[in-house]
């Protein structure tokens, strides 16, 4: 599978119901080694996708949790992404 952008990769993972571990492995395959996840705004992209719909998507939130625990993204980038949200009751 050829991935064009970060959001497309997240949606593909969600559609195929990848585990969080499988998601991290595949994300590292799709994107260059020099790219840092904070620059790619991974935390913001995951939060945006997780908040689509009547309730937060638990699978995509598990990807965010794994990204934090494995230090793919920094805690500060996650907090910055959260602070950009105006309303969580979509």
Provide the residue ranges of all domains of the chain, joining segments of one domain with +. 6-83
Phi-psi group of 19: left, alpha or beta (phi > 0 → left; psi -120 to 50 → alpha; rest → beta): beta
pLDDT digits (tens, 9 = 90+) for 21-30: 999 998 888 8
Q: Quick one: pLDDT at residue 90?
A: 46
Q: Quick one: pLDDT at residue 40?
A: 72
What is the average pLDDT value for the chain, to the nearest integer? 85
Using the structure block, give the residue that is written with the tokens 């994300």: 27
Q: Quick one: pLDDT at residue 60?
A: 95
Using the structure block, give the residue that is written with the tokens 């499988």: 22
Closest CA to 68 of 43, 31, 45: 43
- Position 36 confidence tier, pLDDT thresholds 50, 70, 90: confident
**What own/partner pairs with CB < 8 Å and gap ≥ 24 does 45-48 have?**
45/6, 45/7, 45/10, 46/10, 46/81, 47/78, 47/81, 47/82, 47/85, 48/7
- Position 41 confidence tier, pLDDT thresholds 50, 70, 90: confident
């Amino acid at each position: 599978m050829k991935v064009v952008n970060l959001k497309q990769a997240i949606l593909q993972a969600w559609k195929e119901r990848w585990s969080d571990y499988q998601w991290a492995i595949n994300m590292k395959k799709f994107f260059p080694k020099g790219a840092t996840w904070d620059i790619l705004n991974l935390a913001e992209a995951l939060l945006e996708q997780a908040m689509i719909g009547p309730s937060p998507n638990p699978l995509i939130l598990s990807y965010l949790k794994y990204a934090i625990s494995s230090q793919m993204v920094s805690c500060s980038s996650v907090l910055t992404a959260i602070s950009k949200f105006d309303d969580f009751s979509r």
